[in-house]
Amino acid sequence: MVKIDLITGFLGSGKTTFIKEYAKYLISKGEKICIIENDYGAVNIDMVMLQDLLGESCNLEMIVGGDGKEAHRRRFRTKLISMGMSGYDRVLIEPSGIYDVDEFFDVLYDEPLDRWYEIGNVISLVDAKAVFDLGDFERYIFMSEIAWAGKLVFSKIYEDSDAGKVLDAVNRIMEEFGGRRFDAEKDIIFRAPGTAGYDGKNPFELLTAEDFDELSGCGYRHASYVKLPIEDKQFTPLFYFDVAMPSDRLREIAKGLLTDKKAGHVIRIKGFVQISPDAQVELNATEKEIKTSPIVSSRNVLIVIGERLDKEYINSIFKDYCSVVSL
C-alpha cells in the first residue's frame, strides 16, 4: 500500500520549505514519491517552489481549493483514485494553511482508497514566532491542524532555550480547546540555527538524517477536541499578476498592508515579484517577518491572504504595479 503523509501548519509556518528537504531525504532513500499541493486558487505559489524536485522519483500534483469543503473533498478523492496505479511508495500532501484535518482521514477511509493507501504520518510545522500572537479563531485553526501530529517541527526558532517557551504556548492553546498536550521529549523536533555555518536561509537544512528517520515513521495520534465550524469565506485570497516594483517599495507595501486596518486583517503575502529588468525575488511576509530572497520563476504573481479583506482598497495599492488586479 502507498503511505500518505500529511504536512500541516498554519499560514507561513514553513510547510513548503520543510517538504522540499523531507522529499530530498525520501528520494535519497530510494522512494518514488508524489507531492500534492492544495491552495486557494488556480495559481499555486508553493508548487512553483518545488519544481526542481521533479524527476523520475518525484511528481507534483495540485488540488484547487476555496469553493467549499465538499467540492474540495471530491477533488481530493478523485485525485487519489487517478494516482492509485502510478507506483508511488509515498504521497506527501501539503494542504492550505487553513485546513480541516478530519477531511484527510475521512477520505482515506473511503472505498476504494482504503485498499490502495494507508495513513503514514501527520507532521505539523509550528511557527515559533507567531504562536504567541494568534487571534481567537486563528488559535482554533492552529490547534486543529497540529492536534493529530505524530511529531511537531518547530520553525523560526533560533535558541535551544526558546523551545520550552514555545511548547508551553502550544500546550496552552491545546488545553484551551480540549486538545491533548505535547511532550517535549517525545513529540518535538527542531534544530536551533545558532550553529557555525548557518546562513539564515533554510533552517530545515539543519535537520539530520536521524531527524528525518524519526519523522518518516512518527505516525499520528488520535485527536479529540471541541469542534468548531470552519467557514471557507473567513479567509480570502486576492491574486495580482505580472507584479513589478523596486524591492524597497515591495517591502514598504507589504509592511503597510499587514498593519493597515483599512485593508482588513492581512495575515500573509507571498509570491514572486520582478524588482528590476534582470532580478526577481520571492516574497514571504507576515506581521512578524518580511522576507525576500532571489529567485528565478516563470511568472510574477502575488497572493494576499486574510480575513475581511477590502478588495477595492488593496487593488488601488497594487494597480500601478501589476497588469491584472484581483477580480
* pLDDT for res 200: 54
Report the chain's mean pLDDT, rounded to a whole number: 86
CATH architecture of 2-215: 3-Layer(aba) Sandwich (3.40)
| pLDDT tens digits, 71-104 | 778 888 888 988 888 899 999 998 876 677 877 8
pTM check: above 0.95: no
Please list the residue range(s) of the chain that carry CATH number 3.40.50.300. 2-215
Q: Per residue in 182-220, pLDDT tens?
A: 999 999 999 887 644 455 556 788 899 999 999 999 999
What is the predicted pLDDT for the residue at 263? 94
pLDDT digits (tens, 9 = 90+) for 311-327: 999 999 999 999 877 76
- Mean pLDDT value across residues 45-66: 78
- The per-residue pLDDT for 196 is 45
Over residues 136-159, mean pLDDT: 89
Q: Which CATH superfamily is domain 235-318 in?
A: CobW-like, C-terminal domain (3.30.1220.10)
pLDDT attached to residue 175: 93
Q: For the chain, what percent of residues have pLDDT higher than 90?
A: 46
In tens, the pLDDT along 213-257 reads 999 999 999 888 877 766 554 667 888 989 999 999 999 999 999
Is the confidence at residue 40, as pLDDT, over 80?
no
CATH code 3.30.1220.10 region(s) in the chain: 235-318
Q: What is the mean pLDDT of residues 297-324?
A: 88
Check: CB of residue 41 under 8 Å from CB of residue 237.
Answer: yes
